[in-house]
Every structure is written in structure tokens, then in C-alpha cells.
Amino acid sequence: MNKPKTLFLALLTSLISLIIPLANAASLPAVIKGNDGAEMVLIPAGNFVMGSNKVDKSKRAEEFGSIKPWYMDEHPQHIVSLPSFYMDKYEVTNQQFREFVKQTSYRPPSHWLENGYLVSMKREKLNAIPTKRLQYIVAEIFRIDIDTRKMNKQQLLSTIDEYFAMLDNVPVYNVNWAAARDYCDWAGQTLPTEEQWEKATRGPSGQEFPWGDTFQDGMSNTGEEEWVAGAAPVGSYATDHSPYGIYDVAGNVSEWVMDWYDAYPNSDYTSKLFGKRFKVIRGAGWGGNGHYALQMYQRGAYRLFVTPDAEKEDLGFRCVQTSPQGVRKNIAHN
Ligand SMILES: [Ca+2]
């Protein structure tokens, strides 16, 4: 092939590769509502920087008693190209998960019994309970910090409704990997892959933290800055959002993703922990992942992992879907 022809073809190819994503982006809405009613944000097609080439020269991981060396499982930093997809703007909430539990008779998270949220599934039954009993429930079961002794029935019911409304917007937790996957299936979605999670939270250029490359205290619900009740209603930390507008990524609850904990392609790092033993979780949580080295846990490239059956009070999830319309699947009762 002669040179002008090659040049022409190269130009044409670049033009087409520029135009196709633009055309796709133009035809896709920037924000949609998922089948579960959750707001989802478009993450446009294209390249992003995944992983890192960083090295823990001063061996601080050992000093902190980390179960793995830092950074090595992020190697090598590499470019990944993904088609466009939608991701939940917030972590999946109690209210959304409650609808799933109702419709599929799924097992509810264990703490719904302890904090009384399970009662919200049959809220109308509270109307028939005598006032004295309601006073006891509000004070001792829901542990709402209020003097219930002189409250009448209507006041008690309103207090309970406000309490449920607050819990509605708290992310669901104490859900294992299969429950998170089943929820996403039910909503016509999937758990994000590590690639999808990392692109949506670090942006195309692979920044260190959702807000930029420099660590700042107090940006997310973690450690010292944690919400008094642990997990905060989603979106409570306005500064914890990615360049694409995905919220609560550095903190609040850590999030299940689809993948097993394994080496990245072309990595020369090996680990006995790799394989089909642990599922990756991403993003720091409000407490349980360690109060030390918070900066490390809030990095967008950081990979943590737990066994798929883990149910933790600082571990939740969010879902993705690859087109504006999700495809619902039937969920078997567990
Ligand atoms: Ca999170």
C-alpha cells in the first residue's frame, strides 16, 4: 500500500473512532432510573488508567500488620478501554433492598431485627398496638433518644415513621456476595467489575482519590470523620464523589464487586491469596476495615478482599448496567 493511502486510512480510522463514541454519548441519557428506582449515572465509553506502579519502599504495610504488601496487587498500571455503562450514583439503600426482600421473600440482613427496620415491612401493624407498648418499642427496641412517657399514639407513630425514613436512606449492609449479586440480577443489573468500579471512581486519568490526587482529611465517612451511627444516609458527605459524580466511593460502606481477588493481566506479582477464594471489595468503610492507614484505604486503586460469605456492618454494594434498560432475572428464594 502506498504512503498517502495508508495515511488516509489512518486518518479515517481515527476520525471514525472519534465520531462513534461521540455519537453513542450523544444518544445516551446522562442519568437514568434503574428498575429499582435508583439514580444511575452514565460512565462514557473510553480509556482509563487502572492500577498503579507504586512501591511501599519503607515497608509500612508490615509496620501496620497488613495482610498483604501494599500496591503490589495493583501492578502493572495499565490502560483499559470499556464500553459505556451506568452505575448507581449511591450505594444500594435499605429501602431499595427492602423492596427486593418483599418481592422475592429473600432473607433480610441480620441487623434489621436488631434496629427494628424489619418492622417497616409491615408498618401498618403498628397502628393496632396499644400506646404503652409503643412507648416501650420506641425507647427500648428502636432506642430512639426521646422521652416517650408522655407521648400519645400519633406522636409515637410519627416518631417511628421518621426513624424508618432515616434508615431508608442508609446503605444496606450485612449482605454477602451472593445476596448483592442476586439483588443486582433482580434489578436487571450486575455487580460492577473491578474495572468498572475503578473507572467510575477514579475517572479517566486514574487519580488517587475520588476528589483528586492529594489526600485530605474529612472528605468521606471513614475513621476519625465517621458518622456517629456508622453508615451514614447515602450522599451525606458531599465531598466524597468521583469525577463522574458517583458518591460515597472513598467511604461509608465498602462495596462488593464481581471479581475474585486475582492478579492483573501481565502482573509479575504472585500471591497465595489469589484465585477463587476471595471476592474483591472496593472503597473504605466507616470503621471495620481498620482505623489505621486511612489514606491507603481511600485510594481508588486499593484492593481489599474477603470470603464471599462475609456479612459485615461496613460492607454493602452498588450495581451497574450496560444499557439504559436493564434486563431483570428471576431470583430463586434462598
Ligand atoms: Ca462506599
Q: Are residues 117 and 190 in the same domain?
A: no
| pLDDT tens figures, 48-86 | 999 999 999 888 888 878 889 999 999 999 999 999 999
Q: Are residues 140 and 195 in the same domain?
A: no
Q: Are residues 98 and 134 in the same domain?
A: yes
Q: How far apart are the CA of 91 and the centre of ligand 1, in A?
A: 6
Q: Are residues 193 and 260 in the same domain?
A: yes
Residue 112 domain boundaries: 94-168
Residue ranges in the chain modelled with pLDDT below 50:
1, 334
Q: Are residues 164 and 62 in the same domain?
A: no
User: Positive or negative CA dihedral for 58, 209, 176, 223?
Assistant: positive
Q: Are residues 86 and 113 in the same domain?
A: no
Q: Are residues 144 and 263 in the same domain?
A: no
Q: How many domains does the chain have?
A: 2
The pLDDT assigned to 223 comes to 73
Q: How far apart are the CA of 299 and the centre of ligand 1, in A?
A: 12
Q: How far apart are the CA of 286 and the centre of ligand 1, in A?
A: 9
The pLDDT assigned to 59 comes to 84
Q: How far apart are the CA of 221 and the centre of ligand 1, in A?
A: 9
Q: Are residues 131 and 258 in the same domain?
A: no
CA–CA separation, 46 and 308 (whole Å): 30
Q: Are residues 154 and 277 in the same domain?
A: no
Q: How far apart are the CA of 83 and the centre of ligand 1, in A?
A: 23
The pLDDT assigned to 175 comes to 98
R_g of the chain computed on alpha carbons: 23
The Cα-based distances of 166 to 111, 193, 284 in angstroms read 15, 30, 22
Q: Are residues 55 and 187 in the same domain?
A: yes
The pLDDT assigned to 1 comes to 43
User: Which of 168, 193, 218 is where one domain is finished?
Assistant: 168
Q: How far apart are the CA of 9 and the centre of ligand 1, in A?
A: 45
CATH number, domain at 180? 3.90.1580.10
Q: Are residues 87 and 31 in the same domain?
A: yes
